[in-house]
Amino acid sequence: MNIVLPDGSVKELEEGATVADVAASIGAGLARAALAGIVNDTPVDLDAVVSDGDSVAIVTAKSDEGLELMRHSTAHLLAAALTDMYPGVKFGVGPAIENGFYYDIELPEGVTVSPDDFAAIEARMAEIAKSGAAIVRCEVSRDEAREIFADQPLKLELIDELPEDETISIYQLGDFTDLCRGPHVPDTGKLGAYKLTKVAGAYWKGDSDNEMLTRIYGTAFFSKKELEEYLHNLEEAEKRDHRKLGRELGIYMMEPMAGVGLPLYLPKGARVIRTLQEWLRRDLYERGYEEVITPHIYNADVWKTSGHYGFYHENMYFFQINEGTDEEPRYSEYGVKPMNCPGHVIIYKNELHSYRDLPLRYFEFGTVYRHEMSGVVHGLLRARGFTQDDAHIFCTKDQVVDEVVAILELVDYIMGTFGFTYEAEISTRPDKSIGTDDMWEHATESLKEACARRGLAYDINEGDGAFYGPKIDIKVKDAIGRTWQCSTVQIDFNMPMRFGLTYRTEDNTEETPWMLHRAIFGSIERFLGILIEHYAGALPLWLAPVQVAVIPIADRHKEAAAEFAGELKAVGGRVEVMDQNEPMKVKIAKAQSQKIPYMIVMGDKEVEEKLVSVRERSEGDLGQWDRQKFIDVIRDAAI
């Protein structure tokens, strides 16, 4: 029989050959490295039999599917160890997830598992892994499955939910048997380096009406080096957590009384936000944008026209207003804005426009509100109230490429300022969409051409565009290698048509303009959270809420310290005089813990000779400087 390989070549094998035989026919090295296979786009075990004409790919540690496969098998390894160590344990599900795996279990009454037990569990896992125990698949009938899992009520529940025509497969690993579709690595000797990371409670099937199970998380990689790097980054991520640093540095707070997901910025946080906005505002004016300000609420008719009322209603906050009197009430419905675009569209429609006016670029730092489920709210990274650096560009069809190129130039400038590397993804037409084939093709090709002009590589995310047009998403990589979704550029056919926008063409006809949505920071809250974690709280000098701490050594130096602080403020510096009755070392330690970029120490010599002793937060003591030299440093950092 003939088997088709990923490169299109054909291998001839004996009838009844397995995926492992296919790997061996290609080479001995591949046979040793093989973990599983993909037959006609379906993942299978190595011992799966292939048929004439099948397309077969071999899964190895180097293939994209290899890591997920190994993590899933490591979840079974964890379960096998738990079976040995906790007789009577009941098992739920144990999938691979983005950064590892977990297993949900029900422990015998009175038994608990904590991180203190991880070392012993990992030791038992290591024993099983070292033995090279086989992971064996078997297909069984529904009745056989129910008999096998007679003492596993959670598994019985899963069996009952399987479609009647589905093949039921089980996997055996030592004394542990699991209900699982697979595939898995052939034996535990193929498993790499792993580590249990945390234990938590989890409702069975995610339903709070069900019992609470114990969820044990772990991570796994093919090499010890990769595992150590991941664990280091995990530790770094915990130290950099913006929720912890935001509180310690006095950036923002959350108050349950105020509501879930609604950050309150403290003075230092407000200063950072305003500095970011002013920096970008100045740049946008130079790039031909005009700033607008739109309401936080609109009559529901606006949201009905835009389509949000029907398609986004559950994520919005609506309320009634009596616009009549108590005797003759007349109620109108209003909605708090989740997006800024309708306001910009209304402003465009306020005047008649010709092709000579286009492109029109409106921007706004507009605060929006979206109803996120409380379980997914996460500090500044996912909030219910946040401010977007939003802009909408109204242009002709032929201007789209140039406008997108200009937006990508702005993205590069912004991300480069913060030292971010980034990548792009173009999302194309989904199954449900509006607009003609010609519009979609032109829009998608325009995005591709803009990326090509900028030399920006991109991936294609097929079918994940908005219903109203394709988009470019920018994903930045931070200091410890994490990827964040930030900037976006979207083409919109929908809203200009819904609101009846037009412009007068050169031929004196009326046309509907094309509309580009774009945000560079995205959510300023989210971007700030990313920045805090990227810099571990030590924001660059120009953005730091307090740039300089002036520290007088003794009371007699306080006047000179205040005078020098005034000189720094006069050139735009953000300065704090630490004149509390505390030892100098304590003051320096406080300034250091607050991540203040510079500390100026003033004593007798500095006062007499008009000098300053300069300390930098990462480099330490920089010695004595001429005062003007330091003033120039602060002046140059002003935006």
* Residue among 155, 195, 384, 392 flagged as catalytic: 392
- From the CB of residue 504, how many other CB atoms can be counted at a distance below 10 Å? 15
Q: Are 601 and 616 in contact (CB under 8 A)?
A: no
* Residue among 390, 473, 478, 492 flagged as catalytic: 390
Nearest to 220 by CA among 194, 187, 188, 189: 194
User: In a 10 Å sphere around its CB, with 0-12 CB exposed, 13-18 middle and 19+ buried, how is residue 389 labelled?
Assistant: buried
370 catalytic? Reply is yes
* Residue among 384, 454, 471, 526 flagged as catalytic: 471
Please tell me the number of Cα atoms within 13 Å of 50 on its side-chain side: 34
Beta strands 421-427; 458-461: pairing state: parallel
Contacts of 81 (CB under 8 A, 6+ apart): 121, 124, 125, 128
Q: Are 35 and 64 in contact (CB under 8 A)?
A: no
Contacts of 225 (CB under 8 A, 6+ apart): none
| CA–CA dist 220, 413 (Å, integer) | 37
Residue given tokens 């606006």 in the structure block: 302
Tokens matching residue 326:
């108590």
486 catalytic? Reply is no
In whole angstroms, what separates CA 256 from the centre of its chain?
Answer: 24
Q: Which residue(s) pair with 51 in the sheet?
A: none
Which helix (H) or strand (E) segment is 563 a member of? helix 558-570
Nearest to 529 by CA among 254, 235, 291, 233: 254
At residue 391, the 3 state secondary structure works out as strand
442 catalytic? Reply is no
Q: Are 67 and 227 in contact (CB under 8 A)?
A: no
Contacts of 363 (CB under 8 A, 6+ apart): 284, 289, 290, 291, 292, 389, 390, 391
Nearest to 479 by CA among 419, 412, 422, 523: 419
341 catalytic? Reply is yes
Contacts of 455 (CB under 8 A, 6+ apart): none
Q: What is the CA radius of gyration of the chain?
A: 31
* Residue among 152, 388, 399, 594 flagged as catalytic: 388
User: In a 10 Å sphere around its CB, with 0-12 CB exposed, 13-18 middle and 19+ buried, how is residue 578 labelled?
Assistant: buried
* Residue among 137, 242, 268, 370 flagged as catalytic: 370
In whole angstroms, what separates CA 411 from the centre of its chain?
Answer: 17
CA distances (Å), origin 87, targets 108, 113, 115, 213: 8, 13, 19, 16
Contacts of 328 (CB under 8 A, 6+ apart): none
Phi-psi region of 259 (alpha: psi -120 to 50; beta: other; left: phi over 0): left
E-strand stretches of 117-160: 136-140
* Residue among 180, 341, 395, 486 flagged as catalytic: 341
Q: Which residues are catalytic?
A: 341, 370, 388, 390, 392, 471, 517
